[in-house]
């Protein structure tokens, strides 16, 4: 039964990014009016991504508005599905987010169509029913046309009984935290918070004194060394010099939004100062080219650019069609920046396929790698991986730079929370994995023993009242919780890619016996489960 919300109360339900870092979506209800903060795509393991295919836990037609924090797909990527299933309200966002969203959503729609086509090629051979895309490019553009830009700091009314305004979150171009009033309840949703010394953007800001705060915890368990932009460039310089000296390519998986532009900013600086070899830089992402054009539009307003378009450096080559991208496979000594940043799709996959086995190549990670992603598997030290059905030995150098993260670390998140104080009701920690969430909670409870801190789960609902601790109304969804983290398909891929090597360490005349014993174990476990059910 739905809570009847009084004039001084709200109902809050977490539909995503609770116990995981993707799928951000919160539903606020006040006086029978429904508003979403974000509507993002789940990304990571196949089990987690399968949540995108299920029905929404709410009726899309009843949602009167979406208040969008920024244009990353894990915050906006289910908007096309929402609109296709009956949502007709406004999507409130900042002006730069509106500009970025046109390209981000259209690209997401094309990816969904291509993925469906790929699935259907496989399914047709098995005679199965066609696989429909989650949404199309046209669905994506229809959702984008619902956007309603608003300036930072300006109050707006997303639905009767609500008012809201945006505050700079310092995460990516256009990113914002959401101050939300529903009835008499005063709340703040952080969105994603940026770190200190973030290129292009001012530090996060916002008011203080709330009943409830929802804060992201992506890096809740980590504290990075604080580096200036100049110090970060020195680390990048050393990595580039070492990578080119190895004789192979330097492959950098990078998100098309913000990370690519930050890399170009630093590479342009290093190239102009003759601090790195004159290696060609290829940006192999049509989306990154479009996003970079949006950055160029706002160049005069961005920090660190000197008010000029630094993205027009003659050393940068934006790769167009797929054929041009494939031709890069025969190169050596190049710097190739390609999406996706966690290696889950896009052109980075075929660059990894052609470079991971080369001892002279370098794979440089410059962003967060979620559990269950190929990027996380590589960062964690895998000796072999499977890409598009092909087993690939990892001989390339795997390197990582943490200081390009667009997310605040633990100390910066704690500072952001402190500046929102006093929090008279409850602080919710979301958008994090279990270790980071628990680390944040422990640190907060040591510092502020009286602060009520909750770690919500997907599907949990809470009643929010003025100056009262949140009261849980419903428990989380077990199916969604099982999908969080590394699933059996990750373990299976790891088993398969390492199986040949494991067998190679067994004397040849015993390998057949080892394989048969493995089969026996699998069969015996099946019988065990069947007997237990009986």
Distance of alpha carbon 161 from alpha carbon 244, whole angstroms? 59
* Strand order across the beta sheet in which 90-93 lies: 147-149, 90-93, 63-67, 33-37, 25-30, 9-16, 461-465, 471-474
Domains 9-223+406-483 and 229-404 share a fold: no
The answer to whether 90 and 158 are in contact (CB under 8 A) is: yes
Domain ranges of the chain: 9-223+406-483, 229-404
Distance of alpha carbon 435 from alpha carbon 289, whole angstroms? 36
Q: Looking at residue 522, what is its pLDDT?
A: 77
Where are the extended beta strands (E) located within 1-146?
9-16, 25-30, 33-37, 63-67, 90-93
Q: Looking at residue 3, what is its pLDDT?
A: 43
Which residue shows structure tokens 């994090």? 432
Which residue shows structure tokens 């977490």? 14
Q: Looking at residue 487, what is its pLDDT?
A: 54
Q: What's the CATH number of domain 229-404, 3.40.50.1700, 3.40.50.10890, 3.30.930.10, 2.60.40.10? A: 3.40.50.10890
The reported pTM is 0.85
Q: Looking at residue 517, what is its pLDDT?
A: 84
Q: Looking at residue 5, what is its pLDDT?
A: 46
Distance of alpha carbon 63 from alpha carbon 111, whole angstroms? 26
Q: Tell me if the domain spanning 9-223+406-483 has CATH number 3.60.15.10.
A: yes
Please list, in sequence order, all residues whose beta carbon lies within 8 angstroms of the beta carbon of residue 155, skipping any fewer than 6 positions away: 163, 164, 165
Q: What is the pLDDT along the chain (534 residues), one digit of tens a residue?
A: 344 445 568 999 999 999 999 999 999 999 999 999 999 999 988 888 999 999 999 999 999 999 999 999 999 999 999 999 999 999 999 999 999 999 999 999 999 998 898 888 875 556 778 889 999 999 999 999 999 999 999 999 999 999 999 999 999 999 999 999 999 999 999 999 999 889 999 999 999 999 999 999 999 999 988 889 999 999 999 999 999 999 999 999 999 999 999 999 999 999 999 999 989 999 999 999 999 999 999 988 898 888 778 888 889 999 988 899 999 998 999 999 998 899 988 899 999 999 999 999 999 999 888 888 899 999 999 999 999 889 999 999 999 998 888 999 999 999 999 999 999 999 999 999 999 999 999 999 999 999 999 999 999 999 999 999 999 999 877 766 666 655 555 566 566 666 767 777 888 888 888 888 888 887 787 665 566 555
Distance of alpha carbon 175 from alpha carbon 216, whole angstroms? 13
The answer to whether 112 and 136 are in contact (CB under 8 A) is: yes
The answer to whether 193 and 407 are in contact (CB under 8 A) is: yes
């Amino acid at each position: 039964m739905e809570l009847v919300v009084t004039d001084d109360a709200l109902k809050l339900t977490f539909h995503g990014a609770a116990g995981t870092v993707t799928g951000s979506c919160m539903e606020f209800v006040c006086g029978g009016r429904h508003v979403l903060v974000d509507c993002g795509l789940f990304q990571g393991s196949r089990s987690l991504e399968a949540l995108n295919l299920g029905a929404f836990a709410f009726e899309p037609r009843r949602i009167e508005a979406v208040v969008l924090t920024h244009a990353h797909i894990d915050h906006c990527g289910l908007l096309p599905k929402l609109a296709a299933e009956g949502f007709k309200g406004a999507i409130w966002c900042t002006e730069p987010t509106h500009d970025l969203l046109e390209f981000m959503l259209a690209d997401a729609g094309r990816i969904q169509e291509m993925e469906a086509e790929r699935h259907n090629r496989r399914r047709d051979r098995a005679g199965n029913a066609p696989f429909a895309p989650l949404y199309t490019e046209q669905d994506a553009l229809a959702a984008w046309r619902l956007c309603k830009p608003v300036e930072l700091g300006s109050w707006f009314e997303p639905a009767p009984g609500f008012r809201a305004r945006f505050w700079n979150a310092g995460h990516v171009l256009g990113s914002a935290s959401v101050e939300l009033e529903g009835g008499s309840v005063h709340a703040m949703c952080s969105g994603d918070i940026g770190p200190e010394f973030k290129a292009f953007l001012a530090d996060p800001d916002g008011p203080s004194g709330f009943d409830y705060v929802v804060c992201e915890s992506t890096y809740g368990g980590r504290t990075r060394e604080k580096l200036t932009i100049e110090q970060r460039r020195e680390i990048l310089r050393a990595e580039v010099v070492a990578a080119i000296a190895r004789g192979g390519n330097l492959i950098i998986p990078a998100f098309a939004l913000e990370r690519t532009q930050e890399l170009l900013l630093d590479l342009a600086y290093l190239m102009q100062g003759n601090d790195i070899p004159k290696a060609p830089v290829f940006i192999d992402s049509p989306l990154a080219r479009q996003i970079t054009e949006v950055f160029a539009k706002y160049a005069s307003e961005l920090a660190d650019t000197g008010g000029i378009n630094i993205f027009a450096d003659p050393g940068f080559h934006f790769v167009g069609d797929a054929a041009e991208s494939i031709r890069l496979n025969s190169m050596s000594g190049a710097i190739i920046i390609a999406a996706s940043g966690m290696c889950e799709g896009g052109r980075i996959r075929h660059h990894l396929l052609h470079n991971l086995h080369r001892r002279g190549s370098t794979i440089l990670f410059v962003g967060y790698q979620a559990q269950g992603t190929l990027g996380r598997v590589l960062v964690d030290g895998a000796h072999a991986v499977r890409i598009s059905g092909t087993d690939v030995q990892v001989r390339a150098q795997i390197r990582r730079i943490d200081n390009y993260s667009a997310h605040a670390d633990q100390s910066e998140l704690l500072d952001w929370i402190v500046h929102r104080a006093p929090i008279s009701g409850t602080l919710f920690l979301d958008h994090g994995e279990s270790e980071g969430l628990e680390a944040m909670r422990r640190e907060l409870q040591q510092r502020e023993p009286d602060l009520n801190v909750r770690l919500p789960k997907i599907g949990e609902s809470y009643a929010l009242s003025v100056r009262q601790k949140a009261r849980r109304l419903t428990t989380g969804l077990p199916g969604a919780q099982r999908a969080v983290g590394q699933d059996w398909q990750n373990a299976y891929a790891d088993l398969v890619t390492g199986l040949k090597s494991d067998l190679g360490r067994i004397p040849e005349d015993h390998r057949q016996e080892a394989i048969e014993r493995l089969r026996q174990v699998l069969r015996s476990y099946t019988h065990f489960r069947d007997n237990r059910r009986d």
